[in-house]
Amino acid sequence: MNDNTDNPLNNRRVRVHYRFGENELDVEGEPQEVDKHTLVFLRLAAPADRAVQLRLPMPVEQETPLLGKSNGASAVISGNGHTDQPHDLCSFYLEKAPKGQYQEVAVITYFYQTFRGREYVTRKDYEEAYKELLRIPVKPPKDINGSVRNTATRTKHLSNLGSGKFILTMQGEELVQKMGVDKQD
């Protein structure tokens, strides 16, 4: 009698151990549950200031004894980004194609709040964002802090919370959401 219960590919429960820097995760369960916890762990454990890109099979069923079959699909995790969203600022910036510094600041703020889960964006975040955007290359303004302040005071796109903290207004969100839509036809 050929019993396949010992074959890990036929087992509906998986157990994995991940180590990312000082953070560790041990999880056991159904492949979908393991995948869910793994994605959350990687999103939280990956430093936001490092371009971390990990490809995981999605959905995670029966590809390997540990993770399952990918069926050719994959998800990307970068820093604290989401798997179903743009995985880096540069690709999001290119998609939105902002015109001028006010729109650039709005796009950066939108990305950080929406995809990196920031409640507000700091001046340090803007400096890091422009440093990241040098890869495509986007020339940062000579005075990043002044550009951010001007966007907050001269437009209705950004609100200054004080202490170097900024959030996107509803008008700013709508502006960024509409950007790049014309090119999709």
Domains of the chain (ranges; CATH) run 4-78 (no CATH), 89-184 (1.10.10)
Task: Output the six-digit token pair for 41.
Answer: 């762990």
pTM: 0.55
- What pLDDT score does 30 carry? 80
pLDDT higher than 60, residue 156: yes
Report the pLDDT averaged over residues 119-135.
95
Window from 22-31, 113-122, 134-143 with minimum mean pLDDT: 22-31
| Dist CA 130 CA 142 (whole Å) | 11
More confident residue, 167 or 181: 167
